[in-house]
């Protein structure tokens, strides 16, 4: 190796987040309990600074850092902004419930570490770094799932951990096999090597890799943890689990597919297309008759992963794939977090029936919920609609028209369960269980809804920025 | 100009929410009626400034999402202008009709104003995605109208309505994406797509895209066999909602045929025109026969909508069926189709509002529960009679003009289908006459359900104010239709030119 481009400034957003996490841990150990919010504030500052740094970096030509292990390009830039923005929203909804909690600062630190893992996953171009990022994204998330230390939380953490550990081992095995097959861990080098490698070896390695990625993304068939972990953990954590790791995982899958597998001996596009189809369909079927709103959203995220996998499948077949994936990721993140923020704003409301009459009590909050849920369906003019439009166009363009049709059918099916939540929200009558809610979470919900609508109405420049160059 | 026309109602709707909660209901109603009246004035101004035969006018174009080939592009021509005017008129009459509505008037008014934006937006949209956005939002708004203010089974009816039309809209979206990808450079702009005719010579691709587009529009129209959502939605919706649903929303489907399917997919349309003719005839006959079997007044009117929209589908199908029939006949068919959209909007709007009056007085639509109403409510009886006769296509009313054109235009290319469809007129005449006899003649009998007032009051002022203009306009169009036809005819000729490519 001639010259290493070890400029840490290329990784400024990641470095900021890591530094803020470490500093937060130190601060938390000597701050009095009533002042631990300062750690949260530090995290917010780190995220905002990270977004600024990522935006600045995104205007510059693509480059790599640390050899070629970490790519700083459009995919990384967009993932950084989305992950950090999502982290901000998660911090926003967790601010009030954690106020004065004995482990308040630990919570913020764990959130930041999980976000850092997602960032690393989305940017890495090296299997070994990817494995490390996977662990970094996973372990804080396991802890967060069980953060409340109650029955459901413990069960959530345990399920999440067991499935994650198992699939993590598969991931490491896959990485090993791919290394054996391609004699490299860098994606671009691997891509060349795998074209001549024995096909079974590549297939085994790819499946191991997919197991880990799909676990992080919460896609079929590694989705079993999603409903229990999401229902069992607290609402802010559930919001985190269903968004941040997904961004990293899907960006990583897009990248590894593009550089290493697409065009290789494996029928990569078909494989991802089938996984996408299975994800959206099974997620929808699971969501149909859910009463618990968190569980409903959990199944809904499984189906959303299916839609998100659509552009991943056609990574090398359509020029629209990259902007479709990145835009959809942003749209999904903000819309899903908007829906979760409404859930956080009403901590006593657990089932869809608890939302009865919300439109009369809190019209603005109900409007946010309705817009976010219809947004998740893909009703125009919200951001997810434009994302779906892009994804449909991309798979059409890539020759997978059947997947677009299936996705359309699934969209209609998904309407059914979102409406099961919308109907009580806007109908008359009041639910006794709902009391005063969380004001900060309400503001987050409004903000997320506004961004979701704004991104949909003014998606033009964003899409241009995300287009493959 | 058009942008103001489209977005004023939504702006007013937002304004309604800005008013304090304690504001008297009368204020909301006044704002609603005023806003709708302003819209009507605006559309009249557009009509006054419109140059018949001048092609697309009042165009506005702005960059919206260039990365996806989407732009904000609106304009009017002879196909959309009559529907715009119809929309504004119907929304105004619904606002007037709802002057006595007390249930959550603010939300009701806001929803209708928002709905007005989506309808107007759809008819001026010159970009497929813009069209789709308004198409979908109209479904959302109508869902809340039915679910929030409907009758007993409203939730089920609303869900069914939403699911059916949403499936249709997604089929439509897939078709649009197909058109988008076929065009080069990729674009959703309707004018460019019409010029490019991107699917020329690609018969299989064209057939698939046409299938997706036609299914999407057919659900909304609705034609047999996609009409099953319609009766339930109509029966359960509030009167004003039914009037808009039948008067405006159904037109979105048929408007899509003449605006999108025919000009952008001419080859495929010509090849499969016979299928559309068959679907049209089936809708005509099925709608009429099923309507004949109804005892529920509103349901009956709902099924006659299937019948009347069937004529439109027949006409647009027949216009392309054979190239050897005369140019004039086919132009007549397309003109008749557009006229029928306007005429049906006026008459069904009036009929549904009258059905609302019936329900408001007697709490049931069952025709068997009423008898001899003409004695106690002569004005109501007269209005219903006029609307019914107009609807069955009696000369002197707009329906006659439209159906005459459709039949004359379609008879040459499709004699058998047209002959069969004429039977539909006989059937609707029979069912309307039977309904009138049952409800208005004979000894007086009123439904005796708990909560019904003993006396059956005649039409109130605001109800008459809503219904009379619709019927007057139907008569005016029936006697002196030139001012409308002058606008439609050049546009329908240009549709046929595009179709002949």
pLDDT average, residue stretch B363-387: 90
pLDDT average, residue stretch A77-91: 94
Rounded CA separation B50/B96 (Å): 28
Burial group, residue B152, by CB count within 10 angstroms (0-12, 13-18, 19+): exposed
Rounded CA separation B56/B50 (Å): 10
Asked if residue A81 lies in contact with residue A55, where contact means CB atoms within 8 angstroms, the answer is: yes
pLDDT > 80? residue B19:
yes
Of B67, B133, B155, the CB nearest to A323: B67
Looking at the complex, report in whole angstroms how far the Cα of residue A408 sits from the nearest Cα belonging to chain B.
6
What's the confidence (pLDDT) of residue A89? 95
Residues pairing with A65 in the sheet: A70
Of A374, A386, A397, the CB nearest to B65: A386
What's the confidence (pLDDT) of residue B124? 95
Looking at the complex, report in whole angstroms how far the Cα of residue B146 sits from the nearest Cα belonging to chain A.
11
Give which of B7, B16, B64, B68 to mutate to test A binding, by max A Cβ within 10 Å: B68
pLDDT digits (tens, 9 = 90+) for A249-267: 999 999 999 888 887 788 9
Looking at the complex, report in whole angstroms how far the Cα of residue A432 sits from the nearest Cα belonging to chain B.
21
Contact assignment for A426 to B136 by CB distance below 8 Å:
no
pLDDT digits (tens, 9 = 90+) for A180-189: 988 888 888 8
pLDDT > 50? residue A1:
no
Give which of B63, B157, B172, B173 to mutate to test A binding, by max A Cβ within 10 Å: B173
Contact assignment for A392 to B174 by CB distance below 8 Å:
yes
pLDDT average, residue stretch A183-207: 88
pLDDT digits (tens, 9 = 90+) for A117-126: 999 999 999 9
A vs B, Cβ pairs < 8 A, gives 82
Contact assignment for A389 to B129 by CB distance below 8 Å:
yes
What's the CA angle centered on A379, arms B179 and B108, to 5 degrees?
125
Q: Could you say which residues from 43 to 62 on chain B have a Cβ atom under 8 Å away from some Cβ of chain A?
A: none
pLDDT > 80? residue B233:
yes
Residues of A in contact with B137 (CB under 8 A): 379-381
Residue A72: φ, ψ to 5°: -115, 90
Q: Where are the alpha helices (DSSP H) in A314-400?
A: 321-345, 358-361, 363-377, 383-397
Instruction: Please tell me which residue of chain B has the smallest CA distance to A463.
Output: B67
Asked if residue A382 lies in contact with residue A335, where contact means CB atoms within 8 angstroms, the answer is: yes
Chain A interface includes B215 (CB < 8 A): no
A432 token code pair: 């006794």
Chain A interface includes B159 (CB < 8 A): yes
Contact assignment for A374 to B66 by CB distance below 8 Å:
no
Under DSSP, is residue A104 helix (H, G, I), strand (E, B) or coil?
helix
Contact assignment for A380 to B132 by CB distance below 8 Å:
yes
pLDDT digits (tens, 9 = 90+) for A386-417: 999 999 999 988 889 899 989 988 998 888 89
ipTM above 0.85, yes or no: no
Confidence of residue B64 (pLDDT cuts 50, 70, 90): confident
Q: Could you say which residues from 15 to 44 on chain B have a Cβ atom under 8 Å away from some Cβ of chain A?
A: 17
Residue B47: φ, ψ to 5°: -60, -45
pTM above 0.90, yes or no: no
What's the confidence (pLDDT) of residue A2? 46
Q: Which residue has the higher pLDDT, A184 or B43?
A: B43
Rounded CA separation B363/B366 (Å): 9
Contact assignment for A412 to B63 by CB distance below 8 Å:
no
> In this prediction, what percent of chain A has a pLDDT beyond 70?
97
pLDDT > 70? residue B454:
no
What's the confidence (pLDDT) of residue B500? 84
Of A323, A408, A416, the CB nearest to B174: A408
pLDDT digits (tens, 9 = 90+) for B65-85: 887 888 899 999 999 999 999
pLDDT digits (tens, 9 = 90+) for B160-200: 898 889 889 989 999 999 999 888 888 999 999 999 888 88
> What residues have CB less than 8 Å from B448, skipping those under 6 apart?
none
Chain A interface includes B180 (CB < 8 A): yes
Rounded CA separation B330/B319 (Å): 5
Q: Could you say which residues from 263 to 322 on chain B have a Cβ atom under 8 Å away from some Cβ of chain A?
A: none
Q: Which residue has the higher pLDDT, B90 or A101?
A: B90
Residues of B in contact with A323 (CB under 8 A): 67
What's the confidence (pLDDT) of residue A293? 93
B40 token code pair: 């009507």
A13 sits in which H/E element: helix A12-30
pLDDT digits (tens, 9 = 90+) for A323-336: 999 999 999 999 99
Average pLDDT, chain A: 89
Under DSSP, is residue A370 helix (H, G, I), strand (E, B) or coil?
helix
Residues of A in contact with B170 (CB under 8 A): 408-409, 411-412
User: Poorest-confidence range of B226-240, B447-461, B471-485?
Assistant: B447-461
Confidence of residue A430 (pLDDT cuts 50, 70, 90): confident
Average pLDDT, chain B: 90
pLDDT digits (tens, 9 = 90+) for B255-309: 999 999 999 999 999 999 999 999 999 999 999 999 999 999 999 999 999 999 9
Residues of B in contact with A466 (CB under 8 A): 67
What's the confidence (pLDDT) of residue B192? 92
pLDDT > 50? residue A28:
yes
Residues of A in contact with B141 (CB under 8 A): none
Contact assignment for A405 to B174 by CB distance below 8 Å:
yes
What's the confidence (pLDDT) of residue A468? 66
Q: Which of A74, A431, A388, A114 is nearest to A243 (CA)?
A: A114
> Which DSSP state fits A33?
G
- Say how many Å lie between the first and final Cα of chain B, rounded: 33
Task: Collect all residues from A whose CB is shorter than 8 A from any CB in B.
Answer: 323, 363, 374, 379-381, 385-386, 389-390, 392-393, 396-397, 404-405, 408-409, 411-412, 415-416, 419, 423, 426-427, 459-464, 466-467
Residues of A in contact with B68 (CB under 8 A): 386, 389-390, 393, 459-460, 463
Rounded CA separation A240/A337 (Å): 8
Burial group, residue B3, by CB count within 10 angstroms (0-12, 13-18, 19+): middle
Confidence of residue B325 (pLDDT cuts 50, 70, 90): low
What's the confidence (pLDDT) of residue A4? 59
What's the confidence (pLDDT) of residue B216? 92
Residues of B in contact with A373 (CB under 8 A): none
């Amino acid at each position: 190796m001639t010259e290493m481009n070890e400029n840490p400034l290329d990784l400024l957003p990641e470095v900021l987040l890591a530094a803020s996490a470490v500093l937060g841990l130190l601060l938390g150990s000597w701050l009095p309990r009533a002042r631990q919010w300062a750690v949260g504030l530090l995290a917010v500052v780190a995220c905002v600074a990270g977004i600024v740094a990522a935006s600045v970096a995104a205007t510059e030509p693509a480059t790599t850092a640390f050899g070629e292990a970490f790519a700083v390009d459009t995919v990384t830039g967009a993932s950084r902004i989305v992950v950090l923005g999502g982290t901000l929203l998660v911090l926003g909804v967790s601010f009030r419930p954690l106020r004065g909690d004995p482990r308040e600062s630990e919570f913020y630190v764990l959130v930041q570490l999980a976000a850092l893992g997602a960032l690393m996953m989305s940017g890495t171009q090296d299997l070994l770094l990817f494995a490390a990022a996977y662990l970094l994204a996973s372990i804080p998330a396991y802890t967060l799932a069980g953060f409340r230390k109650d029955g459901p939380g413990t069960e959530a953490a345990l399920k999440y951990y067991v499935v994650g550990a198992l699939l993590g081992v598969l991931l490491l095995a896959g990485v090993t096999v791919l290394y054996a097959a391609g004699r490299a861990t860098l994606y671009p080098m691997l891509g060349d090597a795998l074209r001549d490698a024995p096909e079974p070896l590549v297939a085994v390695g790819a499946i191991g890799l997919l197991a880990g990625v799909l676990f992080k993304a919460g896609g079929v068939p590694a989705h079993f943890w999603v409903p229990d972990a999401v229902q069992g953990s607290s609402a802010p954590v559930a919001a985190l689990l269903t968004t941040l790791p997904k961004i990293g995982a899907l960006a990583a899958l897009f990248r590894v597919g593009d550089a290493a597998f697409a065009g290789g001996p494996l029928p990569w596009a078909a494989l991802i297309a089938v996984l996408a189809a299975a994800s959206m369909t099974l997620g929808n079927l699971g969501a149909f008759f859910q009463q618990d709103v968190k569980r409903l959203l959990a199944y809904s995220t499984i189906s959303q992963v299916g839609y998100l996998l659509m552009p991943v499948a056609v990574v090398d077949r359509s020029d629209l794939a990259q902007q479709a994936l990145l835009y959809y990721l942003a749209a999904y993140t903000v819309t899903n977090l908007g829906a979760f923020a409404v859930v956080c704003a009403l901590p006593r409301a657990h089932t869809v029936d608890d939302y009865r009459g919300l439109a009369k009590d809190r019209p603005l909050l109900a409007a946010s919920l309705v817009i976010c849920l219809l947004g998740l369906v893909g009703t125009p003019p919200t951001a997810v609609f434009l994302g779906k439009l892009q994804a449909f166009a991309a798979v059409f363009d890539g020759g997978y028209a059947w997947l677009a049709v299936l996705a359309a059918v699934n969209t209609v099916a998904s309407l059914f369960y979102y409406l099961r939540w919308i109907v009580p929200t806007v109908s008359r009558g009041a639910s006794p269980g709902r009391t005063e809610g969380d004001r900060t979470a309400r503001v987050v919900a409004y903000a997320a809804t506004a961004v979701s609508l704004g991104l949909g109405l003014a998606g033009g420049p964003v899409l241009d920025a995300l287009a493959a160059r | 100009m058009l942008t103001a026309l489209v977005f004023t109602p939504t702006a007013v709707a937002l304004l309604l929410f800005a008013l304090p909660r304690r504001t008297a209901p009368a204020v909301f109603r006044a704002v609603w009626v005023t806003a709708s009246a302003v819209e009507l004035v605006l559309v009249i101004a557009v009509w006054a400034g419109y140059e018949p035969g001048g092609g697309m006018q009042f165009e506005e174009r702005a960059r919206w999402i260039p990365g996806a080939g989407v732009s904000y592009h609106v304009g009017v021509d002879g196909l959309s202008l009559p529907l715009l005017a119809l929309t504004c008129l119907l929304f105004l009459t619904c606002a007037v009709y709802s002057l006595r509505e007390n249930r959550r008037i603010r939300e009701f008014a806001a929803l209708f104003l928002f709905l007005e934006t989506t309808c107007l937006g759809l008819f001026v949209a010159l970009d497929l995605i813009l069209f789709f956005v308004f198409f979908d939002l109209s479904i959302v708004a109508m869902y809340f109208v039915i679910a929030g203010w409907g009758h007993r089974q409203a939730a089920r009816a609303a869900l069914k309505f939403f699911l059916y039309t949403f499936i249709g809209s997604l089929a439509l979206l897939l078709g649009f994406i197909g058109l988008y990808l076929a065009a080069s450079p990729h674009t959703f702009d309707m004018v460019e797509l019409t010029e490019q005719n991107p699917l020329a010579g690609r018969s299989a691709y064209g057939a698939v895209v046409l299938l997706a587009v036609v299914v999407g529009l057919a659900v909304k129209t609705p034609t047999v066999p996609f009409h099953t959502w319609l009766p339930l939605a109509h029966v359960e919706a509030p009167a004003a909602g039914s009037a808009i649903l039948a008067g405006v929303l159904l037109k979105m489907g048929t408007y899509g045929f003449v605006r999108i399917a025919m000009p952008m997919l001419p080859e495929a349309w010509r090849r499969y025109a016979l299928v559309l003719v068959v679907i049209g005839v089936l809708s005509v006959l099925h709608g009429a026969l099923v309507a004949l079997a109804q005892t529920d007044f509103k349901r009956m009117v709902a099924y006659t909508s299937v019948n009347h929209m069937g004529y439109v589908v027949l006409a647009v199908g027949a216009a392309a069926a054979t190239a050897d029939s005369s140019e004039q006949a086919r132009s007549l068919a397309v003109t008749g189709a557009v006229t029928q959209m306007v005429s049906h909007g006026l008459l069904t709007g009036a009929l549904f509002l009258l059905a609302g009056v019936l329900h408001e007085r007697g709490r049931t639509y069952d025709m068997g529960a009423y008898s001899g109403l003409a004695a106690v409510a002569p004005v109501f009886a007269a209005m219903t009679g006029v609307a019914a006769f107009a609807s069955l296509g009696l000369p002197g009313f707009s329906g006659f003009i439209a159906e005459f054109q459709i039949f004359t235009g379609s008879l040459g290319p499709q004699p058998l289908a047209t002959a069969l469809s004429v039977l539909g007129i006989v059937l609707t005449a029979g069912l309307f006459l039977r309904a009138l006899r049952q409800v208005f003649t004979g000894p007086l009998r009123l439904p005796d359900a708990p909560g019904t007032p003993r006396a059956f009051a005649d039409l109130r002022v605001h109800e008459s104010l809503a219904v009379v203009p619709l019927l007057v306009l139907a008569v005016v169009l029936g006697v002196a239709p030139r001012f409308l036809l002058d606008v439609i005819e050049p546009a329908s000729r240009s549709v046929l030119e595009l179709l002949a490519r």
